[in-house]
Amino acid sequence: MADVQAVNAADYDIEPYVGMPIYFDDNGALLGYGRKNSCIVSDGTTAGNNTGNKNCSGGMMESPGTVRPGNQGMQNNQDMQNNQGMQNNQGNQSNQSMQNGQSMQGTQNNQNMQNAQGMQNNQGNQGMQNNQGMQGNQNVQSIMCSRNFETWPLAMAYVPWQAFKQTYSPEEGFEAGTIFPELDLPFLGGGRR
């Protein structure tokens, strides 16, 4: 895996932002970029930011190591745009087009960039490269949807900066436990429910 690469965003039709993770394969070809959707909750029992996250619901039930039949050797750009196609990135590494960084950059990956689903899978893939058992992106998804954070790819975190805005009245604030309405949020922690 390449250590550090300078990327000309224009080459990839990327809209960069500070801290944006970018992922490459062993040959230095761009695999994907950007953040994945929130996938904090493993079992789908708590909504949170998970609502509508198809990756979680679709991927998490599959057992590690599963490679769906029919996807082997999938090279078609169209197919690579969806999850089905992305499942076998690991499996595809031996095929010719995957070994060629140039062609990756020029074709398949640009297609991948158009699709958030694909990007998410790529992000997962990067973290799982050394894991023999994890061959498909669906399985990476299942890892990222688990609570075993040790198996998750490394990531960057940020905390939005609070601005001083309208506060609660002392009465409201005393009841809510904060004078800041933007911090008056439901507590959704506490482990499995």
Residues within the interface to another protein (CB under 8 A): 162, 164, 167, 170-171, 173-174, 178-180
SS3 per-residue string spanning 71-130: CCCCCCHHHHCCHHHHCCCCHHHHCHHHHCHHHHHHHHHHHHHCCHHHHHHHHHHHHHCC
Using the minimum distance from each CB to another protein, give the nearer residue, 149 or 158: 158
Least distance from another protein to the Cβ atom of residue 183, Å: 9
Nearest to 121 by CA among 142, 93, 148: 142
Least distance from another protein to the Cβ atom of residue 157, Å: 17
Using the minimum distance from each CB to another protein, give the nearer residue, 146 or 178: 178
CA 64 to chain centre: 17
Using the minimum distance from each CB to another protein, give the nearer residue, 10 or 163: 163
* 3-class SS of residue 31: strand
Using the minimum distance from each CB to another protein, give the nearer residue, 9 or 183: 183
Start-to-end C-alpha separation, the chain: 39
Distance CA 31, CA 114 (A): 12
Contacts of 106 (CB under 8 A, 6+ apart): none
Least distance from another protein to the Cβ atom of residue 156, Å: 20
Least distance from another protein to the Cβ atom of residue 147, Å: 30
Least distance from another protein to the Cβ atom of residue 26, Å: 42
Using the minimum distance from each CB to another protein, give the nearer residue, 10 or 159: 159
